[in-house]
Amino acid sequence: MYPRKELLWARSLQLSWNYNYGPAGRNITHINLLDYPEREATDPVVSFKTALWFWMVNCHYSINAHRGFGVTIRAINPSECAGGNPSAVNARVGFYEDYCNQFQVDLGTYLTCNLASEAISSVAIK
């Protein structure tokens, strides 16, 4: 992001860095989010579209390829998977377990970052 822009981080799913704002703006909103990133923070339609774009580009395939919930943590907050905030990882897994239980759906496997890395490695080896 450009340093001259101050963003509000209360959105559907925060984007960060130019490598997300540029493609998201081009692919789904047809606006220049590099120069106007505040649109993602202040326009609820743009916010929802960018959240959906990020999910489809960075998470959807991995979770549907049976790599588990942990890959979504890695995609959204990679520093947490590098040991940056274990309590946040545990909280995310707890929320995921709670939602799955409420909807009565299977949790799947590979719920944490470490287990997701094992899943990715085992798929790559095959």
> Which range is most confident: 15-19, 105-109, 114-118, 120-124?
105-109
Averaged confidence pLDDT in the chain: 79
Cβ distance 23 to 29 under 8 Å?
no
The predicted structure's pLDDT at residue 124: 47
98: confidence class by pLDDT, cuts 50, 70, 90 = very high
The highest-confidence range among 12-16, 21-25, 46-50, 102-106, by mean pLDDT, is: 102-106
Residues 32, 23: Cα–Cα separation, whole Å = 9
CB 17 within 8 A of CB 5: no
Assessment of whether the complete model's pTM goes beyond 0.75: no
Q: 4 vs 99, which has greater pLDDT?
A: 99
How far apart (Å, rounded) are the C-alpha atoms in residues 76 and 70?
A: 10
Q: Tell me how far apart the alpha carbons of residues 2 and 14 are, in angstroms, rounded to a whole number.
A: 15
**Which residue in 50, 55, 15 sits closest to 31, CA to CA?**
50
Residue 83 near residue 124 (C-beta atoms within 8 A): no
| Between residues 60 and 107, the one the model is more confident about | 107
